[in-house]
Amino acid sequence: MRTALVIGTGLIGTSAALALTQRGVTVHLVDHDPEQARTAAALGAGTDEVPDGRVDLAIIAAPPAHVATVLADAMRRDAARGYIDVASVKGGPRRELEHLGLDLSSYIGTHPMSGREKSGPLAASGDLFEGRPWVLTPTRDTDTEVLNLALELVSHCRAVPVVMDADAHDRAVALVSHMPHLVSNMVAARLQHAEEAAVRLCGQGIRDVTRIAASDPGMWIDILSANPGPVADLLADVSTDLDETVRALRALQSSDEAKRQEGSAGIEDVLRRGNAGQVRVPGKHGSAPRVYEVVAVLIDDQPGQLARIFADAGMAGVNIEDVRIEHATGQQAGLVQLMVEPKSVPVLSAALRERGWALRQ
Ligand SMILES: NC(=O)C1=CN([C@@H]2O[C@H](COP(=O)(O)OP(=O)(O)OC[C@H]3O[C@@H](n4cnc5c(N)ncnc54)[C@H](O)[C@@H]3O)[C@@H](O)[C@H]2O)C=CC1
Ligand SMILES: O=C(O)C(=O)Cc1ccc(O)cc1
């Protein structure tokens, strides 16, 4: 692929454009808000000048509700040899395109399984998709040349291609993305009118659970409107669990010992089923989760501290697999949890202590 056109230069469009530009592809950037395309160009994602002919691949990275019209318009202009979109839902947009009577042999619906709770080009990064699954939904009618262009894009973004049927994709993302998104918002909504004294106690657990509740509601109304059935089915299952958990907790308030035992068994059941589901969540590169151990370091909230820790770990020859930072509320201090292979724990701990870091259990 030598040339590409990104239509919709927000988080996802600009991230893909940055990755392609870094691999030497000439990328043209277009957005219905020209300021967004200019910003993406200023970030080094490509040029906001109109291409002077057909590009190899057009990437439609607009919100789901706009995909069909944007794609139809690009096809009418004969803008590219191949077309993909990156919307979070695949079945509905495909049916909308079929309804428009377009020749879809040059189009593949795709979905990179990576993103953020922030929107716009300023939140973009060229490595956003690295190691993440990127779903492709070709059909029997898809041109091989177009499938190859899409695979080239996925490879340039260092993502992992996964081929799926569009409706199977929508059922899968209802489970791993859309239903959890709503549950995150419902948990976060409890904080809206909560007392300040309670909110100040927020720790890492609630930060993890509510991070995605900061996402743009407009985009998510679009996503959920295109996948309502599978998400409603899953939320109904969650609702059954909620009812049973409330019943178990009420039983735990009883003065009757037998009832309390019943309540305790109910709570244990939901917690154990949660454990069993959690171990199935893949690790950072989509593989089975690895067991890492934590080396916890206390730091002052000063610029450059993290970089120094990473440099010190690097000098000790230890690979940091993952990192978490817990900020102590109201204090200029934080706890950095470095996840490493179990065999690296003594090496890293000794090296950090030697360099003056305060380690915690
Ligand atoms: N946010 C995320 O984490 C992920 C989003 N997606 C999908 O990627 C697509 C883009 O999402 P984001 O980049 O997050 O949104 P964003 O809000 O950061 O960017 C969307 C961009 O599309 C532009 N746009 C809207 N209508 C347009 C039109 N008719 N023509 C041209 N440009 C138009 C907007 O001005 C904006 O710059 C969506 O379809 C979304 O479902 C896929 C994976 C992850
Ligand atoms: O921020 C996160 O962790 C996300 O999960 C973002 C996300 C949002 C929408 C998608 O279609 C895919 C990924």
Point out the ligand nearest to the CA of residue 64. Answer: 1
pLDDT of residue 324 exceeding 90: no
Q: What are the pocket residues of ligand 1 if the criterion is a CB atom closer than 6 Å to any ligand atom?
A: 7-13, 31-33, 36, 61-64, 66, 70, 86-88, 111-112, 115-116, 119-120, 219, 223
Q: Which of 24, 5, 9, 140 is nearest to 83 (CA)?
A: 5
Q: pLDDT tens across 141-153, in order?
A: 999 999 999 999 9
Q: Which atom of ligand 1 is nearest to the CA of 113?
A: 43
Distance 70 CA to ligand 1 centre (A): 12
Q: List, in sequence order, every residue forming a beta bridge with 133; answer none if it has no partner.
A: 160
Q: Closest residue (by CA) to atom 20 of ligand 1?
A: 10
Distance 74 CA to ligand 2 centre (A): 26
Per mean pLDDT, which of 182-186, 286-290, 292-296 is the most reliable? Answer: 182-186
Q: Which atom of ligand 1 is nearest to the CA of 15?
A: 13
Q: pLDDT tens across 162-173, in order?
A: 999 999 999 999
Sign for the CA dihedral angle at 290, 156, 41, 218 comes to: negative
pLDDT of residue 331 exceeding 80: no
Whole-number Cα distances in Å, 194 to 119, 208, 263: 27, 19, 27
Strands of 80-85's sheet in order across: 26-30, 3-7, 55-60, 80-85, 107-112, 133-137, 160-163
CB–CB of 347/293 below 8 Å? no
Query: How high is the ipTM of this complex?
Result: 0.98
The CATH class of 3-164 is alpha beta
Q: Which atom of ligand 2 is nearest to the CA of 112?
A: 12
Distance CA 90, CA 137 (A): 8
Distance 120 CA to ligand 1 centre (A): 8
Query: Phi and psi of 111, rounded to 5°?
Result: -155, 110
Q: Which atom of ligand 2 is nearest to the CA of 223?
A: 11
pLDDT of residue 102 exceeding 80: yes
CATH for the 293-360 domain, from 3.40.50.850, 3.30.2130.10, 3.90.1640.20, 3.10.20.30: 3.30.2130.10
Distance CA 216, CA 94 (A): 24
Q: Assign a CATH topology to domain 171-278.
A: 6-phosphogluconate dehydrogenase C-terminal fold (1.10.3660)
pLDDT of residue 224 exceeding 90: yes
Q: Closest residue (by CA) to atom 10 of ligand 2?
A: 88
Distance CA 174, CA 181 (A): 9
Distance 149 CA to ligand 2 centre (A): 24
| Predicted local distance difference test score (pLDDT) of residue 49 | 97
Structural domain spans, the chain: 3-164, 171-278, 293-360
pLDDT of residue 287 exceeding 90: no
Distance 86 CA to ligand 2 centre (A): 12
CB–CB of 85/223 below 8 Å? no
pLDDT of residue 304 exceeding 90: no
